[in-house]
Structure 1
Amino acid sequence: MSESASRRGALLALAVLTLVWSYNWVVMKQVLQYSGPFGFAAIRAVLATLVLFLVLLLRRESLRPPPLGPTILLGLAQTTAFQSLVQWALVDGGAGKTALLAYTMPFWLLLLAWPLLRERPDRRRLHCAALAGVGLVLVLRPWAGLGGLSSALLALVSGLAWALSVVIAKKTFADGSVTPLRLTAWQMGFGAIGLCLIALCVPERAIDWSAPFLWGLAYNAVLASGLAWVLWALIVQRLPATLAGIVSLAVPLCGVLLAWLLLGERPDLAEAAGIVLIAAALVGISRAPARASS
């Protein structure tokens, strides 16, 4: 395959991945009509783990587990905490707003990387973080009362959990000794165990095993987890990191748009202004190089 054809294939994969992950926020919101948040998250994670290990077998990658301690911590942060908090936030929160707030992960990572990874942010990134803070205030609108604030805070904390998982991965697996797909499969497995324990301990509504629920489950396990991570591995291999990072910018914004079109979640003027500020800050952070400091 020529270099240009390889790049075109990776760009197509990037577009498909963005659409799959963006639309999944609508799917995760809709599926809560038929299930409690934790039960769905647990079943999704178990099925996604099986799909990921099947993909590893098909790609003939090693099934040997990475170092167990860091992988378990990664699974608890990236799968157990992130997925449970996101699904909990979606119970009362809109799909678009939850997606946007969960994807504030780069801002949390900016704060965590300074003391934990010795990566001191430059002035431009700090200005972007301040801009994002203004945008968050407009999106959260604390002056409007507590209605919807709890779900927004849950989504923000999910972004913090995601950022923590990135720190764990950077500190432990930055040498490339474990492929992203194998690490994802194993951390997903350990995280699924944590989600199952939460689902067993927290009382919630019984699952309605209807066609819409099964469709949502299949979309999450097969497309949003299995196929998506195969596409992501392809993108990382064939595209520059800055271009691959477009996914982290496009998914929440497309999620807001799809939630508006499909769920009628129309942001008011303050929320729209906050979304624009957060999007601008995300672009700024993604473009500004970090400056290491000892």
Structure 2
Amino acid sequence: MTSETDATDMDAARARLTGLTCLGITAVGWGLNWPLMKILLRDWPPLFSRGLAGVAAACILAAIAASRGQSLAAPRAIIPQLLFASFTNVFAWMGLTTVAMKFIPVSEGALIVYTMPIWTLLLAWPLRNMRPALRDVAAVVLGLAGVALLLGGGGGAPFSGDRLLGIGLSLAAAILFALGNILNRKPLPLPPLAAVAWQVGLGCLVMLVLGMVFEGPRYLELSAAGLACLVYMMLIPMAVCYLSWFETLRRLPPAGASAGMLLVPVIATVAAAVALGEPLGVREMAAIGLTLGGVALALGRV
């Protein structure tokens, strides 16, 4: 009996270690994507570049799903749910945040959009009749105080039109993603990889078409650095990181996995300071601490 118990404990420890490793890969991959996206925007406009990377990544995910024997067929009955999920989870989340990167620093954009658990908590009151408790009020106060501290130091023009547009787009992305979390409570009846491939493909295809029609991209102006960032976006955040995220969820409790994602805006902010020379001082670190403290409290309820 003791040997069986020891074997079970060892299996659980290995599963946890694998889960933590996959969580680290996911957080680093998604965190580094923020400053690299900013570099790519020097060459190509946001919707076109993110849409192209997403469509290519969706094809990769679909191929991986098919190689694993997962069906890619989407029943007609789930199309409305699939379209809504594609809008909130991909078009709003990826598209709006990418456009926002043209107007605000990575640290601001990443921190604002990762407040989505706070907005989920607030929207759950009218939509799911979940009244906020004292813990929830503390989460909102901490989170918004951190964001306010960060945005309050926006250089010489904290209320310029471009900066306000970037902040508004980031907030819209966070709120729409939170709305999707509430209204998409029923999971899509598709295998995990197939569900992601469909959502990323549909959401990013709309971005790609809009970018080609309205942004007028100059296709041949992609630098070597921009090409490297594009390839990274295709392969790592939208393919490898989704695979590692699913492995994380298989091996770690959902609350622990979600809390681990708080590393993403921290990694993004530090990487942007190194790669782009964006500010990283006491104010930024205090803002990160306050905001993520509030988000951690909110995660306990959502």
TM-score (norm 1): 0.89
The separation in 1 between residues aligned to 2:189 and 2:196, in whole angstroms, is 13
Query: How far is 1:91 from its partner?
Result: 0.8
Equivalent residue number for residue 276 of structure 2: 263
For the 8 Å contact 1:92–1:151, the answer to whether it is kept is yes
Number of aligned residues: 286
User: Alignment partner for residue 267 of structure 2, among 254, 277, 282?
Assistant: 254
Distance 1:82 1:239 in 2: 25
The answer to whether 1:165 aligns with 2:174 is no
Alpha-carbon shift at residue 32 of structure 1 (Å): 0.7
Deviation per CA, 1:98-149: give whole Å up to 9, x if none: 1111111111111222222333332201221022122222222289542323
Deviation at 1:277, TM superposition (A): 1.2
**Distance in 1 separating the partners of 2:132 and 2:191:** 28
Q: Is residue 181 from structure 1 mapped to residue 193 from structure 2 by the alignment?
A: yes
Cα-to-partner distance string for 1:192-244 (whole Å, 9 max, x where unaligned):
23212321332344232332222111111111111111111111111111211
Query: Are 1:199 and 2:199 an aligned pair?
Result: no
The answer on whether the counterparts of 1:13 and 1:231 sit within 8 Å (CA) in structure 2 is: yes
- SS of equivalent to 2:209: helix
Asked if residue 96 in structure 1 is aligned to residue 107 in structure 2, the reply is yes
Matched letter for residue 88 of structure 1: V
Q: Which residue of 1 aligns with 2:120?
A: 109
Distance across 2 between alignment mates of 1:22 and 1:161: 21
The letter of the residue matching 1:78 is N
CA–CA separation in structure 1 for the residues paired with 2:288 and 2:28: 19
Please give the alpha-carbon distance, in whole angstroms, between the structure 2 residues aligned to 1:260 and 1:145. Answer: 19
Partner of 2:71, secondary structure, is coil
What is the aligned-residue RMSD (CA, Å)?
A: 2.1
Alpha-carbon distance, 1:247 to partner? 3.2
Tell me, in whole angstroms, the C-alpha distance in 1 between the residues paired with 2:72 and 2:170: 33
Other-structure match for 1:190 = 202
Q: Does 1:219 align with 2:228?
A: no
Q: Within 2, Cα distance between the matches of 1:99 and 1:204?
A: 27
Identity %, equivalent residues: 27
Displacement of 1:271: 4.2
- State how far apart, in whole Å, the 1-side matches of 2:129 and 2:214 are: 38
Q: Deviations over 1:251-283 (max 9, x none)?
A: 111211211222211145544433221121112
Larger Rg: 2
| 1:187–1:145 Cα change, 3 Å | same
- Preserved CA contact (<8 Å) 1:105 1:162: yes
Contact 2:107 2:265 in 1 (8 A): yes
CA contact (8 A) 1:112 1:164 kept: yes
Partner of 1:22: 31
Distance in 2, matches of 1:180 and 1:243, equals 20
Aligned to 1:132: 143
Which structure 1 residue ranges, 5 or more long, are not aligned?
Answer: none
* Contact 1:75 1:188 survives alignment (8 Å): yes
Q: Give the conservation status (yes or no) of the 8 Å contact 1:96–1:258.
A: no
State whether structure 2 residue 293 is matched by structure 1 residue 284.
no
Unaligned runs of at least 5 residues, structure 2: 1-9
Write the distance in 1 (CA, Å) between the matches of 2:256 and 2:269. 21
Question: What pairs up with 1:51-130 in 2 under 5 angstroms?
Answer: 51-65=60-74, 67-130=78-141
- Structure 1 residues 119 and 183, CA gap change in structure 2 (3 angstroms): farther
Flag the 1:214–1:167 CA change in 2: closer, same or farther, 3 A: same
Determine if the alignment matches structure 1 residue 8 to structure 2 residue 17.
yes
- Match of 1:50? 59
User: Post-superposition shift, 1:161?
Assistant: 2.0
Most deviating of 97-106 and 178-187: 178-187
* SS of residue paired to 1:91: coil
